[in-house]
């Protein structure tokens, strides 16, 4: 090879090296997508897993109302992820009522996270996904056993109540329910993430599901693994309205999880005003009023985007918020309502006893759902 040929070969080398690197990255992405189609697990080649080696994790539980407002959802999650990065914390995002598999993948790619997704058993509202910056090792969906006759009775109860309230019919009480079980490593230990969405309108089935959920979690605890349980429990976790939302059989089913697991709500500030907006502590009314620009509640449903509300409608919504606030204040209970329409705390996080809950808050500025997201800082 002549001297000039050598110079020309050296000049071409950086280009061929970059092409090789680009091809390598494309291969990783192809394998990740193939695994997602096959197993419902997408380990994003661009995810940064370094923070998962530390002890701190930001856990979010959010029922996203069939993923109707993906743009606002993404903006909310981006803000939480940025905050976690500043704190050096890993993130675990438990979503319920994901629209579909494509939405779960879009969110993972746009947020730079890994995701595990499972279809609901028989209805789009039951889909769940867990997004995290920790590599996902395994994922499975465990279907709960339910009493079919009780499902039918719950269906009648719920829809009779909705009819009286002038609300539309729902098939949700007939849904089969399950838990998405994902294994990752956080802080050098194996941790199981259990994302669940329990039955609506049936205390009996709700209780059966809690029993099965606890057995799954207990099995991992016996092995020495950490456990984080999160989701929409369709049972009032505040203790103010104990029992399922439309079931006359009053029972506090989810309280059974406190036997062996820490309820993150027990770590709210003593005066019950654990809510914050943009980092500033606010009382319940302030949080809701300041969030009115993005989430106004009227007597029928959450209105997404208050720009569509007239001044009179805004005033009516604010009066409704005042009534909620005064009702809670009179009873002297903790706030932390996660479903403004039902005036209840359906959403929460439980962690194994060897973990430490640092803080918990509800973000009332998030307006992409009829639920509000719960954000919990945990040391594993």
Residue 290: per-residue pLDDT: 44
Distance separating alpha carbons of residues 338 and 236, to the nearest angstrom: 10
Residue 166: per-residue pLDDT: 85
The alpha carbon of residue 132 and the mean position of all alpha carbons in its chain are separated, in whole angstroms, by 12
In the chain, alpha helices (H) = 3-39, 70-87, 101-111, 148-164, 203-222, 284-290, 311-331
What are the two backbone dihedrals, phi and then psi, of residue 88, each rounded to the nearest 5 degrees? 75, 25
Question: CA separation (Å) from 98 to 4, 116, 177?
Answer: 60, 12, 14
Residue 124: per-residue pLDDT: 45
Distance separating alpha carbons of residues 193 and 349, to the nearest angstrom: 11
* 267: number of Cβ within 10 Å: 18
Whole-angstrom Cα Rg for the chain: 23
Lookup result for tokens 């039955």: 199
Report which of 350, 62, 67 is spatially closest to residue 218, judged by C-alpha positions: 350
Residue 249: per-residue pLDDT: 41
Distance separating alpha carbons of residues 158 and 150, to the nearest angstrom: 12
| Beta carbons of 338 and 302 less than 8 angstroms apart | no
Is residue 262 helix, strand or coil? strand
pLDDT averages per 10-residue partition of the chain, 380 residues: 58 55 72 95 96 96 91 94 96 96 97 91 70 98 94 94 88 91 97 95 90 96 97 81 41 77 77 39 44 36 44 59 47 59 85 93 80 93
Domains of the chain: 24-279+346-379 (3.60.10.10)
Residue 304: per-residue pLDDT: 36
- Structure token digits, residue 54: 């530390």
Report which of 219, 183, 213, 193 is spatially closest to residue 95, judged by C-alpha positions: 193
Q: Which residues contact 330 (CB under 8 A, 6 or more apart)?
A: none
Cβ burial 123-135 (10 Å sphere, 16+ → b, else e):
eebbbbbbbbbbe
* 348: number of Cβ within 10 Å: 24
Residue 8: per-residue pLDDT: 62
What are the two backbone dihedrals, phi and then psi, of residue 312, each rounded to the nearest 5 degrees? -65, -40
Residue 11: per-residue pLDDT: 57
Report which of 297, 340, 328 is spatially closest to residue 315, judged by C-alpha positions: 297
Residue 276: per-residue pLDDT: 40
Is residue 116 helix, strand or coil? strand
- Structure token digits, residue 88: 């050096």
What sign does the CA torsion over 237, 241, 242, 245 have? negative
Residue 151: per-residue pLDDT: 93
């Amino acid at each position: 090879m002549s001297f000039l040929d050598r110079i020309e070969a050296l000049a071409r080398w950086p280009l061929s090296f970059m092409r090789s690197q680009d091809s390598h990255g494309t291969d990783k992405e192809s394998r990740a997508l193939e695994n997602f189609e096959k197993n419902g697990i997408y380990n994003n080649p661009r995810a940064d897993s370094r923070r998962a080696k530390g002890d701190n994790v930001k856990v979010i539980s959010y029922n996203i109302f069939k993923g109707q407002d993906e743009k606002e959802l993404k903006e909310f999650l981006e803000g939480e992820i940025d905050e976690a990065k500043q704190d050096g914390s890993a993130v675990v995002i438990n979503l319920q009522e994901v629209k579909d598999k494509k939405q779960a993948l879009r969110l993972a790619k746009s947020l730079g996270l890994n995701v595990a997704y499972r279809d609901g058993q028989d209805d789009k509202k039951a889909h769940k996904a867990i997004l995290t910056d920790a590599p996902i090792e395994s994922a499975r969906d465990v279907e709960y056993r339910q009493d079919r006759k009780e499902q039918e009775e719950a269906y009648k109860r719920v829809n009779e109540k909705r009819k009286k309230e002038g609300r539309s019919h729902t098939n949700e009480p007939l849904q089969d329910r399950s838990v998405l079980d994902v294994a990752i490593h956080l802080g050098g230990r194996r941790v199981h993430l259990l994302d669940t969405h329990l039955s609506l309108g049936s205390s009996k089935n709700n209780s059966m599901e809690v029993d099965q959920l606890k057995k799954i979690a207990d099995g991992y605890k016996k092995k020495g693994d950490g456990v984080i349980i999160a989701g929409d429990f369709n049972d009032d976790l505040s203790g103010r309205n104990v029992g399922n939302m439309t079931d006359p059989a009053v029972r506090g089913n989810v309280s059974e999880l406190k036997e062996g697991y820490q309820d993150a709500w027990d770590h709210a500030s003593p005066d019950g005003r654990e809510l914050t907006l943009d980092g500033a502590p606010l009382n319940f009314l302030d949080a809701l009023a300041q969030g009115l620009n993005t989430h106004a509640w009227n007597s029928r449903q959450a209105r997404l985007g208050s720009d569509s509300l007239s001044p009179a409608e805004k005033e009516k919504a604010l009066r409704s918020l005042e009534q909620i606030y005064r009702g809670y204040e009179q009873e002297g209970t903790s706030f932390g309502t996660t479903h403004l329409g039902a005036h209840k705390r359906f959403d929460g996080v439980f962690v194994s006893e060897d973990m430490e809950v640092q803080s918990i808050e509800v973000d009332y500025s998030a307006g992409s759902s009829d639920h509000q997201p719960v954000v919990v800082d945990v040391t594993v």
